[in-house]
Amino acid sequence: MASGVRGRPLADRRGRVHGAGSSTIRPHASELLRMNPIDEFATALLSEWARQDLLRVEDVDARERVSAQAAALGVPFLDASSNDYLGFAASDVSRETSKRWAGATPGAGASRLIHGTRPAHLALEQELARWVGHESALLFTSGYAANVGLLSALGQPGTVVISDALNHASLIDGCRLGRARVVVAPHLDLDAVRTALSTATADRARWVVTESYFSMDGDGPDLPALRALCDEFGAALVVDEAHALGVFGDEGAGRCAEMGCHADAVVGTLGKAVGLQGAFVAGPSTLRALLWNRARSFVFSTAMSPLLATLGLFHVQQVRAAETRRSLLRAHSFLVRGHLARAGIPLVPASFGPIVGLLAGDEQKALTLAGALAREGVLAQAIRPPTVPPGEARVRLTLAATWTTPNVDDLCARVVRAARRVGL
């Protein structure tokens, strides 16, 4: 008879015991858990990360806990961890808005390739393409899916990708999944991009890939200079506008629009300033056809909910018209940076806009600073490796247009108190 834990008979997939009759004792649940190799493997990794202050744990009560702390202090609760820059994610769905849903189904029922396309998808794609100044757009279920799909589809044999060292994980993973040669250029280093392009002239195609507004550093590239390099060497410029869309440029069309730079492909997300979920890739119609056929994260995914696409069209139209909110967000950004710089708080160099990084250095200090801010009624996230390089742990503040100027002044005072408390 085959034996299991401590000589007990093994159970099959349906829980039936092999060998013995009804008197056979099944293994106890704790014993089954101990013999699970996944449990052993995961426990070792989690323990190591905990020792390094790199373990992330789910904290579903954080918002309520910090909000209660703010109430106890008699101050407004400030959520400085959200990417809802313009406040549309938290907006109520009015009765008037809900009328737009008439006839829109909750689910598409299939992937786009298997007849999952609905009129709501096409209407939203047309609006997104117009917004960022491109011929066409294709919806994806998330920004991660969009970047992975785009870079893996473009990364055909004989091509080269020149990727900024601080590009988002989704861009990095897209490069890994493709079959292109990948050159990692130091962050915002135009000379390194030039060198990489000059040594890649024999490649079938060259893709220069960057974020327009880096989500952890709050800085961005000289997009016109990158465009000029791409034109000089016959390369394409691929720009991820995830954190810039809705925030920068006329009608919030992004940093490419703001700087008068036409990228060959643009990635935008709907889960940040637009306040919903999903993403898109915009570019020529040939790119859309390529992704339709070869972007695996699109081909093998159920289409976006038509209901969500209908609401997405409404949100995009609202965001495009939200110039007052964008102006407030710009003012808040200048105010916060000026106040914290005068107070001697170390900030990420060369940053701008609504992402403000408070440099702590080591992981424990970043965690301690986030905890000190929570005690001040401010919800902010400690950012640690591997999200940022070792030695550059920080607390990231993301600002919101819905805050008032007194809110912003109050935030700065609380940040200074918390920073002083932890010796930053």
Residues 121 and 212 in one domain: yes
Res. 19: pLDDT tops 90: no
Res. 21: pLDDT tops 60: no
| Residue 120, domain member (yes or no) | yes
- Residue 376 and residue 73: Cα distance in Å, rounded? 8
- Residue 40 and residue 34: Cα distance in Å, rounded? 7
Helical residues (DSSP H) of 322-379, grouped into ranges: 323-342, 363-374
Residues 240 and 225 in one domain: yes
Angstrom distances, CA of residue 401 to CA of 155, 333, 416: 38, 10, 21
Residue ending a domain, among 304, 320, 336, is: 320
Residue 334 structure tokens? 């200048």
| Residue 329, domain member (yes or no) | yes
The pLDDT value given to residue 100: 66
Q: What is the pLDDT of residues 361-374, one digit of tens each?
A: 999 999 999 999 99
Q: What is the pLDDT of residues 87-144, one digit of tens each?
A: 999 887 766 666 666 677 788 889 999 999 999 999 999 999 999 999 999 999 999 9
Residues 306 and 339 in one domain: no
- Residue 420 and residue 92: Cα distance in Å, rounded? 38
Q: What CATH number does residue 280 fall under?
A: 3.40.640.10
- Residue 358 and residue 346: Cα distance in Å, rounded? 6
Q: Taking Cα atoms as reference points, which of 230, 259, 238, 415 lies closest to residue 352?
A: 259
Task: Tell me the residue range of the domain where 388 lies.
Answer: 62-86+322-421
| Residue 13, domain member (yes or no) | no
Residue 375 structure tokens? 């005690």
Say if residues 248 and 254 touch (Cβ distance below 8 Å): yes
| Residue 231, domain member (yes or no) | yes
Residues 365 and 244 in one domain: no
Confidence of residue 327 (pLDDT cuts 50, 70, 90): very high
Residues 287 and 408 in one domain: no
Starting at the edge strand found earlier in the chain, the sheet holding 355-361 runs: 355-361, 393-398, 381-383
Burial class (CB in 10 A: 0-12, 13-18, 19+), 81: buried
Q: What is the pLDDT of residues 210-250, one digit of tens each?
A: 999 999 999 999 999 999 999 999 999 999 999 999 999 99
- Residue 45 and residue 52: Cα distance in Å, rounded? 11
Residues 302 and 342 in one domain: no
Angstrom distances, CA of residue 308 to CA of 105, 110, 168, 276, 295: 9, 15, 25, 8, 22
Angstrom distances, CA of residue 184 to CA of 170, 181, 188, 228, 344: 15, 10, 11, 19, 33
Separation of first and last alpha carbons in the chain: 65
Task: Indicate the length of the chain as a whole number.
Answer: 424
Helical residues (DSSP H) of 116-168, grouped into ranges: 119-132, 143-154
Say if residues 163 and 188 touch (Cβ distance below 8 Å): no
Say if residues 239 and 256 touch (Cβ distance below 8 Å): yes
Confidence of residue 43 (pLDDT cuts 50, 70, 90): confident
- Residue 398 and residue 380: Cα distance in Å, rounded? 8
Q: What CATH number does residue 353 fall under?
A: 3.90.1150.10
- Looking at per-residue pLDDT, the higher value among 7 and 363 belongs to 363
DSSP letter for 396, please: E
Res. 12: pLDDT tops 70: no
The pLDDT value given to residue 13: 40
Residue 316 structure tokens? 């995009």
The pLDDT value given to residue 38: 85
Q: What is the pLDDT of residues 46-99, one digit of tens each?
A: 999 899 888 888 888 888 999 999 999 999 999 999 999 999 998 877 666 666
Burial class (CB in 10 A: 0-12, 13-18, 19+), 48: exposed
At 305 the three-state DSSP class reads: coil
Residues 315 and 331 in one domain: no
Percent of the chain exceeding pLDDT 70 equals 89
Strand partners, 383: 394
Mean pLDDT of 143-149: 97
Residues 328 and 315 in one domain: no
Angle at the Cα of 219 (from 214 to 224), degrees rounded to 5? Answer: 95
Strand partners, 281: 138, 267
The pLDDT value given to residue 239: 98
Residues 175 and 295 in one domain: yes
Mean pLDDT of 387-413: 95
| Residue 33, domain member (yes or no) | no
The pLDDT value given to residue 108: 86
AA identity, residue 136: S
Percent of the chain exceeding pLDDT 90 equals 77
| Residue 11, domain member (yes or no) | no
Residue ending a domain, among 320, 335, 358, is: 320
Average pLDDT over the chain reads 90
| Residue 97, domain member (yes or no) | no
Q: Taking Cα atoms as reference points, which of 335, 297, 362 lies closest to residue 152?
A: 297
Res. 35: pLDDT tops 80: no
Q: Taking Cα atoms as reference points, which of 128, 140, 353 lies closest to residue 251?
A: 128
Residues 261 and 144 in one domain: yes
- Residue 415 and residue 413: Cα distance in Å, rounded? 5
Confidence of residue 16 (pLDDT cuts 50, 70, 90): very low
Residue 332 structure tokens? 């808040």
Residues 352 and 286 in one domain: no
Residues 302 and 404 in one domain: no
- Looking at per-residue pLDDT, the higher value among 94 and 418 belongs to 418
DSSP letter for 182, please: E
Residue ending a domain, among 286, 320, 354, is: 320
Starting at the edge strand found earlier in the chain, the sheet holding 279-283 runs: 136-140, 279-283, 265-269, 236-240, 205-211, 159-164, 181-185
Angstrom distances, CA of residue 169 to CA of 56, 76, 302, 374, 386: 17, 34, 23, 28, 10
| Residue 301, domain member (yes or no) | yes
**Strand pairing report for 279-283 and 236-240:** unpaired
Number of domains the chain is built from:
2
